[in-house]
């Protein structure tokens, strides 16, 4: 067996083994001091305290359907959310004009102070993508537009047609993108598979920096696949802009070269175009900033996020007052958890936009982005006034039930949860969710993040029925958007199974675990530690249902997988030490 793969499996085995030893039937509440997704830390104790098991999977499903009701969120008034806000800014807010302000969670300084330290990145810490979440308030009957899959696909395909019309009769051949959405999706999934291999190698090599980088990019890839129509439309727009920029950036290039690059940008990979843009950017000439910016966009389109950040920063260095370059660099730095880089970029962006139009939506969104970066890095007192200003402008100009208000409420709920203010976070999440649902519908991939966070918060508060209902919705969305064999679906199924188990719905829990098991076996093989983790949970369920023979067989298989993985890890370590001795 290839040593790299063995090492990756073994390392995963050790991590999963530790996790399994920590899981149990008694839940522990976390401190909520971080925005990272919390890992269960339970200790297996008294089984008798759990409800009586349901006799069959069918009975379990019926019982769940009868008992679970859609979670009802306590109505929160804006006056309540204003409580505790900075006195100097409170008087500036006219609640009658804008029904949206930042709650007290963002006014108090975090216990960690305002230390501008970059936060550690873990695999369970994906950050919400603001432009992939849609919104509209539950309090209003009128919505913007219901977007179904057919309409979205039509909109995406219209990008090419609009570009053709705009190009005109004198445009060069292949001057508009022709990449189909099917090919686009295939490339995303191929890129995802490549990154999974890189992740396995980084784990095997104990290369933590590469591991963290790949994990972030895998999250971005998954989001693009889930929101395929939106991400496809954006990439087509970026390709079209790059095609148009070629004539300006490379006026001295011969027509044959321009045509070849346009062909590449239209339907193929973009490596050669990126190289040309980067070459021009490095020359530091008249069009170097624009070239660096487009090189960054093409890198971002390939989900090479760290390369994209370098090129966006280069564009800012060459043209520091360009709001488009500042926004691209600042947002990317924040997405990569580089807050020390993000904050000065976003601060400059706000300054530039304030001089252009102090009442613009662009400024409000920039203020919110800066506030989010402040909050994530611990500077909550700086975040509060920015959220207040931003949400007042958004509500006044776009409406209280606009999608951007939903983004804002979702971020505030995150901050409340991070500070352990669970009772306040629940209705805030609920308000954000109602906005998202009304614009996108209840089955859209744009709900994924908030459903996951809300389900996890209910689980943290030991409200397992509500948690199960939300996890079930999340599973349905992921199966529809990512496919029935995606690892991210398996993660949601395991959380759903745990919620069922804690209610005593053992047959329903077993069904969800078995679905997750099949996905893991299909993706990683039958001897992978992730498979063993699920087998161990299934064994526990069997014991609770007096299926001892079945449970012992599953436990034996799980133990064999773990022991094999640990032995392989020890062998690899010993070989490495022997090589060092020889050197």
68: left (phi over 0), alpha (psi -120 to 50) or beta: beta
pLDDT greater than 90 at residue 492: yes
Mean pLDDT, to the nearest integer, of 290-300?
96
pLDDT score, position 567: 75
From residue 379, give the alpha-carbon distance in Å to each of 85, 385, 409, 551: 15, 12, 18, 50
Higher pLDDT, 488 or 5: 488
pLDDT score, position 473: 96
399: left (phi over 0), alpha (psi -120 to 50) or beta: left
pLDDT greater than 60 at residue 8: no
Q: Domain 1-81+446-583 carries which CATH code?
A: 1.25.40.10
pLDDT greater than 50 at residue 544: yes
Out of 58-62, 190-194, 327-331, give the one with best mean pLDDT. Answer: 327-331
Q: Write the pLDDT tens digit of every residue in 329-357.
A: 999 999 999 999 999 999 999 999 999 99
- Read out DSSP for 110-148? PTTTT--PPPP--TT-PPPPGGG-----TT-S--S----
Cβ(273)–Cβ(265) below 8 Å: yes
pLDDT score, position 435: 94
Q: Residues of CATH 1.25.40.10 domain(s) within the chain? A: 1-81+446-583, 102-143+340-441
pLDDT score, position 573: 60
- Report residue 192 as tokens: 């995802």
Comparing C-alpha atoms, which of 55, 21, 56 is closest to residue 39? 21
This prediction's pTM: 0.70
pLDDT score, position 176: 62
Higher pLDDT, 471 or 526: 471
Q: Domain 102-143+340-441 carries which CATH code?
A: 1.25.40.10
Mean pLDDT, to the nearest integer, of 96-108?
42
Q: Which of 51-55, 259-263, 565-569 has the lowest mean pLDDT?
A: 51-55
pLDDT score, position 305: 97
pLDDT score, position 302: 93
Mean pLDDT, to the nearest integer, of 101-122?
43
Burial class (CB in 10 A: 0-12, 13-18, 19+), 11: buried
Q: Write the pLDDT tens digit of every residue in 355-392.
A: 999 999 999 999 999 999 999 998 888 998 999 999 99
- Report residue 371 as tokens: 């506030």
Mean pLDDT, to the nearest integer, of 467-475?
96
pLDDT score, position 88: 35
Percentage of residues of the chain with pLDDT beyond 70:
67
Higher pLDDT, 322 or 381: 322
Mean pLDDT, to the nearest integer, of 466-492?
95
Mean pLDDT, to the nearest integer, of 71-95?
41
Binned at pLDDT 50, 70 and 90, residue 63 comes out as very low
DSSP class of residue 25 equals S
Binned at pLDDT 50, 70 and 90, residue 575 comes out as low
pLDDT score, position 528: 84
Binned at pLDDT 50, 70 and 90, residue 201 comes out as confident
Cβ(254)–Cβ(159) below 8 Å: no
270/223 Cα distance (integer angstroms): 21
Maximal C-alpha separation, the chain: 80
Dihedral Cα 456, 460, 466, 468, nearest 10 deg? 60
pLDDT score, position 285: 87
Q: For all residues of the chain together, what is the average pLDDT?
A: 76
pLDDT score, position 87: 38
566/564 Cα distance (integer angstroms): 5
């Amino acid at each position: 067996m290839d040593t790299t793969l063995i090492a990756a499996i073994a390392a995963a085995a050790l991590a999963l083994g530790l996790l399994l030893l920590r899981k149990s039937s008694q839940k522990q509440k976390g401190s909520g001091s971080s925005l990272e997704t919390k890992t269960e830390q339970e200790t297996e104790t008294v089984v008798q305290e759990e409800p009586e098991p349901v006799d069959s999977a069918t009975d379990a499903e019926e019982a769940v359907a009868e008992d679970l009701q859609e979670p009802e969120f306590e109505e929160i008034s804006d006056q309540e959310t204003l409580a505790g806000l900075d006195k100097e800014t409170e008087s500036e807010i006219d609640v009658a004009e804008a029904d949206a302000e930042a709650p007290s969670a963002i006014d108090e300084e975090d216990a960690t102070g305002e230390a501008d330290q970059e936060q550690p990145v873990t695999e369970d810490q994906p950050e919400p993508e603001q432009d992939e979440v849609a919104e509209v308030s539950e309090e209003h009957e009128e919505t913007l537009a219901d977007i179904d899959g057919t309409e979205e696909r039509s909109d995406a395909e219209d990008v090419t047609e609009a570009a053709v019309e705009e190009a005109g009769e004198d445009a060069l051949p292949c001057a508009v993108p022709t990449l189909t959405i099917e090919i686009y999706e295939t490339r995303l999934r191929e890129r995802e598979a490549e990154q999974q291999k890189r992740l396995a190698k980084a784990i095997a090599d104990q290369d933590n920096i590469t591991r963290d980088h790949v994990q972030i990019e895998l999250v971005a890839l998954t989001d693009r696949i889930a929101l395929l129509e939106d991400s496809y439309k954006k990439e087509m727009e970026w390709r079209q802009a790059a095609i148009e920029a070629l004539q300006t950036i490379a006026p001295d290039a011969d027509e044959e070269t321009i045509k070849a690059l346009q062909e590449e940008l239209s339907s193929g990979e973009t490596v050669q175009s990126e190289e040309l843009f980067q070459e021009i950017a490095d020359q530091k000439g008249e069009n170097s900033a624009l070239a660096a910016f487009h090189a960054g966009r093409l890198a971002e389109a390939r989900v090479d996020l760290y390369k994209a950040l370098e090129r966006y920063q280069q564009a800012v260095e060459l043209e520091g007052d360009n709001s488009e370059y500042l926004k691209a660099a600042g947002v990317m730095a924040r997405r990569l958890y580089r807050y020390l880089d993000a904050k000065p970029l976003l601060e400059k962006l706000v300054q530039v936009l304030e001089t252009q139009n102090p009442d613009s939506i662009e400024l409000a969104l920039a203020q919110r982005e800066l506030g989010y970066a402040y909050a994530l890095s611990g500077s909550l007192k700086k975040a509060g006034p920015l959220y207040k200003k931003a949400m007042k402008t958004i509500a006044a100009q776009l409406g209280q039930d606009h999608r951007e208000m939903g983004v804002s409420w979702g971020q505030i709920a995150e901050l409340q949860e991070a500070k352990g203010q669970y009772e306040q976070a629940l209705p805030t999440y609920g308000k954000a969710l109602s906005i998202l649902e009304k614009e996108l519908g209840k089955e859209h991939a744009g709900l994924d993040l908030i459903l996951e966070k809300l389900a996890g918060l209910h689980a943290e508060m030991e409200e397992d029925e509500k948690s199960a209902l939300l996890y079930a919705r999340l599973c349905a969305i992921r199966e529809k958007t990512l496919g029935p064999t995606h690892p991210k679906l398996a993660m949601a199924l395991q959380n759903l199974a745990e919620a069922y188990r804690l209610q005593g719905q053992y047959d329903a829990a077993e069904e969800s675990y078995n679905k997750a098991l099949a996905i893991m076996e299909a993706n990683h093989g039958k001897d992978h530690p992730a498979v063993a983790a699920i087998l161990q949970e299934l064994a526990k369920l069997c014991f609770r249902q007096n299926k001892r023979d079945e449970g012992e067989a599953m436990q034996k298989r799980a133990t064999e997988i773990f022991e094999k993985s640990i032995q392989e890890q020890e062998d690899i370590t010993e070989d490495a030490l022997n090589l060092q001795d020889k050197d």
